[in-house]
Amino acid sequence: MAEEGTSKKFGSLATLEAVKAIQESSNVLASDKKSERMEVDPIESQHEAELLAEFERRRRARTLTLPTDDVQVKLKLRKLNQPICLFGEDILDRRERLRALLSTMTEDEVAQILHTEEGFVEKPDEETTTWYHRGPMTLRAARVAIADFSLRRAKERLIRARENAARPPHEKALARQEAHKWIQQLNLHASQVADSRPVAFCEFSPDSEHIVTAGWSGQPSVWRRDTCERVIRYVGHQSQSGCARFHPHAYISTDPSELNVASCAHDGTVYLWSLDNEKPLAELEKHEARVSRLAFHPNGRHLATAWHLRFFLANVRSRNERRAVVPRRTRKEISVSDVAFHPDGSVALTGGLDCYGRVWDLRTGRCIMFLDGHTKELYTVDWLPNGCVRERRNISRCQYEMVTGSADNTIKVWDLRIRKNTYTMPAHSSVVSKIKVDHLGQYLVSASYDNTLKIWSTSGWQPLRQLKGHDTKVMCIDISPDGKWIMSSAFDRTFKLWTQSEY
């Protein structure tokens, strides 16, 4: 009993010798495990080797640190001689494509690609980017002539502006009140069927005594204002005529046998007409697409055409220089819907079907202002006279503001000095097809596809009057140079004359 008591501790059933034997056996097992090595059978299948390589590639791809800036991702792809963008690929897809390409390369190659900093020129926005093209030698001569003319006109305009600024305020207020009174007394004076199809354009002559219309029959016509009698019908266009304009000196100093009228059509033709022959005097080189609008430069020597692809300025006096000046062109070939010249002749305002307007310096050919604000196509543009006076036939216009009309039913006012939109008018319930500002800058007339004409005050842009007379879309309006008549043309094939009622 004594021996058993000395060999046991704490009531254990095992003897001391048994515990030592267990410890020795565990040490032997541990040493055997350390000496053991797991042997893997060699890969005999090529398919299995490819799977393991793919797993390794994916593991490496997960460990790569890629740039999050899409510009830098495009840079890395370009350095790998890969396309920077694939069809239907977004930013995340492009980044994952770069990851997949780098995962197949060695570590040194990956480090060389990822750790090299380079600049990257992002692809320009084709919607708003202007592209300039080298012009012919005649372009320089045209720009010099325009610069000389505009500098003289600007000097005269500034003199008249100072005289107008010196007028007492009560005289200016009285003139504005007289204009508003005349607007309230406007009534429909005459209505004349002018075409067998919709009348797309109408304009008063510089002497306010005649009218030119352009209709979809393709036969522009000249009319007497007082009797609405057709003077001459021009024959030449083979498709719809969208615009016809008088020369700045027509019925004033230009001989009837010389250039007095220009017209354009949807087939790309632009014809020059006299007042005594129904056949065209000349034809400008045919445009590649529809010509929507045209306008004479104030000097009378150049004609601007706004067409489906570009904006052109042509010399109408020289047959060799016609369609010579190409101020702008966009990569996406955005349609230009309307064009208007500043009275100085220095700059031109264009509106396009890309929802943007642009102001062009004709002396340099550069775009100097970008009009971004409309949500739909621009169909009409005009310059707004500010603080001007009238001297017989010479009209003093001091213009630094512009107005644009759009298919978003609004009219926007822009300031050329601060280069921003200053006012927006929710003008109509449908497309604003034409806007026209009177020569004294006291009111604005707008036409719309909602069958109405509206007259707005230029001080505060409050509505003054709504004129209803057409049963269909009103396509064009004009104000006579003497300020006594308003004319409108519409889809109903008529033009209408509005003037102050005598009773």
Global pTM?
0.70
- What are the residue ranges spanned by the domains of the chain? 55-114, 137-500
Residue 329: the pLDDT is 43
Strand partners, 358: 350, 370
3-state secondary structure 304-345: EEEECCCEEEEECCCCCCCCCEEEEECCCCCCEEEEEECCCC
Please, what are the averages of pLDDT over each run of 10 residues along the chain (503 residues)? 46 66 68 53 71 83 81 87 88 87 84 68 53 74 90 88 83 85 92 95 96 95 95 94 95 92 93 94 85 92 78 62 43 75 91 91 89 92 68 46 94 92 93 93 94 93 93 96 94 95 67
Phi and psi at 28, nearest 5°, equal -65, -40
Strand partners, 210: 224
Q: Side chain identity at 265, as an amino acid letter?
A: A
3-state SS class at 381: strand
Q: Dihedral of CA 189/193/194/198: which sign?
A: positive
Q: Dihedral of CA 53/58/59/64: which sign?
A: positive
Closest CA to 337 of 357, 315, 318: 357
- Domain made up of 137-500: CATH architecture: 7 Propeller (2.130)
Q: Side chain identity at 490, as an amino acid letter?
A: A
Strand partners, 304: 295, 313
Q: Quick one: tokens of 60?
A: 């490496």
Residue 317: the pLDDT is 63
Residue 392: the pLDDT is 39
Residue 138: the pLDDT is 79
Cα separation, 350 vs 358, in Å, equals 5
